[in-house]
Amino acid sequence: MNLKDIISISGEAGLFRFIAQGRNGIIVEHLETGKRHNAPASARVSSLDEIAVFTDGEEMKLSIVFDRIFEKENGGPAPDPKSSPGIQSSYFGSVVPEYDKNRVYASDIKKVLLWYNILHKLNMLIKEEKSEEGATPAEHRDEIKTESAPEAKRIQKVHEKKSVVKKGAGVQAPKRISPSQRKSG
């Protein structure tokens, strides 16, 4: 699951897709409505790819938490994020039993469930499948690019040969005329 371009903006509801860097901030697109707007540089923007959940050991990436919810629900949606905090925390504890109960608040669990349901509704929770050779589709595309690289180099050399200027060709520099030659002319 690729969460790199999916972001959350503090103070704004929903999730957004990063589109481009703007003059005064970033241009984002709301995932559910498709509307684009400029998020100011002063806004607190977090990429879902960089968010992790506190556990008793190391932090767990949000994509792993989403994978666990996906497996627990057999590809279905998570429980309603508007349910009571007790139901949410017990559900989250069944998905991530090692989460740190002192540092993960009810509001954090609510956000995770809400974000999961948004991504689930938009069919964005699909895992990248391994191809026959064991490479992901993105890795397979990179292999194809590197295989065609010798052909690209050959074409580049042909273009370089066409643009080579022969020695002696071109504009000649004007001859210098001495002051004595100017007077006689």
pLDDT score of 179: 63
Task: List per-block mean pLDDT (blocks of 10 residues) for the chain, which spans 185 residues.
Answer: 87 92 91 92 92 93 94 91 91 94 94 94 75 46 42 43 43 57 57
Measured between alpha carbons, how far is 7 from 96 in angstroms, rounded to an integer? 22
- Spatial CB neighbours of 18, under 8 Å, sequence gap ≥ 6: 5, 6, 7, 26, 27, 28, 47
48, 86 Cβ separation under 8 angstroms = no
Specify the CATH architecture of the domain 6-48. Answer: Roll (2.30)
pTM of the model: 0.67
- Shared fold status for 6-48 and 51-121: no
Task: Copy the structure tokens of residue 179.
Answer: 């002051």
Q: Enumerate the domain spans of the chain.
A: 6-48, 51-121
What is the fold of 51-121? Arc Repressor Mutant, subunit A (1.10.10)
